[in-house]
Amino acid sequence: MVQARNRNSVALRTLQIGAGIVAVLFFFNGRYPALLRDAELKAFDLRMYAQGTRKPSGRVVIAAIDDKSIAQLGRWPWPRTVLARLTAALKSYNAAVVGFDLVFSERDYYDLQRERGADGARMSALRATAVSNDEAFADAIRAQGNTFIGYSLQVGSGDGNQEITPGFVDKIDAPAPLVYDHVRLAERGLLPPVPQAVAYLPNLGVINRAARGAGYFDTPTDADAVFRSEMMVIRLGKLYCEPLILALVSAYTNRAPTTVALADFGVAGVGVGAVKIPVDEQGRMLVNFRGPAHTFPYYSVSDVIAHRVPAAALANKIVLVGASALGVGDRWSTPMGADFPGVEIHANAIDNILQGDFIQRSDTTTGVAIVAAAIMGLTVSAAVAYLSASWSLVAAAAMICGYFVLAQYLLMADGLLVGVLFPIITAFVTYAGLASYRFIREERENRVLRHAINESR
């Protein structure tokens, strides 16, 4: 009877110590969230990389400004007559939608050089009779009929005193950037906490007017400067702007309407047609990468212009035009590796929307990890309290491995991103602390018992 009471007392004390360890871990995680945040992001990268390469839908291809094209067509930037030839070639290939992951905010360099070398009379003649490179490009865009261009936003820093970057403007030029077809506000007149831009970099009017529309191509990095998501809505003044990737999907799906739902906590949802795009409260969509760089089909711009690309490769496709050459600079770190072409980040995001296979990360999935950490910590405490040392070790190891397998299954099968580090660390630290306590207690009891035996002799 006394022994049973002592065992229950020891078990209760073990449970109390385990609950204390869990409480301390929760306190530190809540007080210093950055301690695990970056490590959790790296763990996500490894989990994404473990999925390997998956075949894209085949509806998105890239016309690349690559090293081959630069070698054949001259140094970048090219005269916009080259881009006009590219756009005309894409029209002849029957490309469904064309998206330029580029901004054309300044006049063509070669036009300016030609004008600077002309005298007054020749300048008047040029302006009266010559078609500029920008106009030639605009004519080709207009003829293609379904071309979209990009632009850049300057997102506010939040302090209200941010200076506008040279070249950017805070007044909207006509035609205005693309905005959502439908904006749903939780309360009329309430501005939700959506990322806000203080200015944008508009395209030249002649090109902007020729395009079907302009969508921003800004993508946010996480705290470790890795691109993992696309920002799906940014407010510019009173406009809720639409990203280039969503504009391309909408055009490809017979102008499916775009929708953003806003709540007092931020972005509640984004959609295009019947497709609901999971975003977090800031409006970020995690990109479900298909694989490392060059998983999507790349075709050199020079080959497209020369019609060396098979007709079926571009027909009825979304064609993204962007830079992949090493010297151009549009290359970034992603979960699938560093030196990743920015245009392919957009290609992955577009393919996610077309196929509807997303990765979901929000306060809800964060809450799941928190609850799991509490359950695992307390269950490990109970195992150490009531099982033998060997069986409690087996139980703790099985729980940790089981949770990781479950979290990885949810990511790969259902696209749910549930954190793994905090629950696993909670279970491990709790077990290690209680196992140490148990060892010390049992060692002390053994010393007392040995001393008593020696005294009895």
Q: 425-447: per-residue pLDDT in tens? A: 999 999 999 988 887 776 665 56
279-330: pLDDT as tens digits: 988 999 999 999 999 999 999 999 999 999 999 999 999 999 999 998 887 8
Q: Which residue has the higher pLDDT, 329 or 223?
A: 223
Report pLDDT digits (tens) over 76-105.
Answer: 999 999 999 999 999 999 999 999 999 999
Domain boundary among 305, 334, 355: 355
Of 117-121, 243-247, 278-282, 365-369, the one with minimum mean pLDDT is 117-121
Q: What does pTM read for this prediction? A: 0.86
Residues 159 and 270 in one domain: yes
- Flag whether 197 is in a domain: yes
For residue 223, what pLDDT is reported?
A: 82
Same domain? For 100 and 204 the reply is: yes
Percent of the chain at pLDDT exceeding 70: 90
- The predicted pLDDT at position 188 comes to 63
Q: Give me the mean pLDDT over the 93-119 stretch.
A: 87
First-residue to last-residue Cα distance in the chain: 27
Q: What is the mean pLDDT of the chain?
A: 88
d(Cα 82, Cα 66) in Å, to the nearest integer?
Answer: 14
Rounded Cα distance between 230 and 247, Å, is 13
Out of 14-28, 121-135, 225-239, 363-377, pick the least confident: 121-135
- Residues 172-198 have a mean pLDDT of 85
Whether 118 shows a pLDDT value over 60: the answer reads no
User: Is residue 71 located within the same domain as residue 175?
Assistant: yes
In a domain, 177, yes or no: yes
Place 424 in a pLDDT band, splitting at 50, 70 and 90.
Answer: very high
Residue 21: left if φ>0, alpha if ψ -120 to 50, beta else—which one?
A: alpha
Do residue 146 and residue 220 come from a single domain? yes
131 or 275: whose pLDDT is higher? Answer: 275
Tell whether 93 and 235 lie within a shared domain.
yes
Say yes or no: 351 and 382 in one domain.
no
Q: How many residues does the chain have?
A: 457
* 315 φ/ψ angles, rounded to the nearest 5 degrees: -65, 130
pLDDT for 129 equals 44
Residue 310 located in a structural domain: yes
Ranking 40-44, 307-311, 362-366 by mean pLDDT, the lowest is: 362-366
Q: Using 50, 70 and 90 to split pLDDT, how confident is the model at 116? A: confident
What is the pLDDT at residue 159? 59
Task: Report which of residues 421 and 117 the model is more confident about.
Answer: 421
Can you tell me the mean pLDDT for 3-10? 65
Q: Which residues contact 59 (CB under 8 A, 6 or more apart)?
A: 252, 317, 318, 351, 354
- Report the alpha-carbon distance of residue 125 to residue 112 in Å, rounded: 15
Q: Is 60 exceeded by the pLDDT of residue 4?
A: no
Looking at the fold, whether 174 and 261 belong to one and the same domain comes out as yes
Q: Write down the pLDDT at residue 442.
A: 62
- Rounded mean pLDDT, 171-179: 92
The alpha carbons of the chain give a radius of gyration, in whole angstroms, of 29
Kindly list the distances between the CA atom of residue 244 and the CA atoms of 146, 203, 234, 251, in Å, as whole numbers in the listed order.
13, 14, 12, 11
Sign of CA dihedral 65, 68, 71, 72: negative
Residue 47 lies in a domain: no
How far is residue 293's CA from residue 345's CA, in Å, rounded to a whole number?
9
Last residue of a domain, one of 355, 385, 420: 355
Examine residue 264 and state whether it is found in any structural domain, yes or no.
yes
Based on the domain organization, do 257 and 398 belong to the same domain? no
Q: Are residues 139 and 257 in the same domain?
A: yes
Q: Is the pLDDT at 392 greater than 80, yes or no?
A: yes
- What DSSP character marks residue 176? P
Residue 363 — very low, low, confident or very high, per pLDDT cuts 50/70/90? Answer: confident
Domain range spanning residue 26?
Answer: 2-32+362-456
- Pairing outcome for strands 284-286 and 298-300: unpaired
Neighbour count for residue 10 (Cβ, 10 Å): 15
% of the chain exceeding 90 in pLDDT: 63
Does residue 54 lie within any of the structural domains? no
* Domain match, 431 and 452 both: yes
Query: Structurally, how many domains does the chain consist of?
Result: 2
Whether 2 shows a pLDDT value over 50: the answer reads: no
Shared-domain flag, residues 303 and 402: no
Query: Which of 57-66, 134-143, 238-247, 327-336 is predicted least confidently?
Result: 327-336
**pLDDT at position 126 over 80:** no
Last residue of a domain, one of 355, 381, 405: 355
- Shared domain check, 103 and 11: no
* Residue 386 is assigned to a structural domain of this protein: yes
Residue 125 pLDDT: 47
Q: How far, in Å, are 246, 271, 283, 439 from residue 354 at the CA level?
A: 10, 12, 18, 57
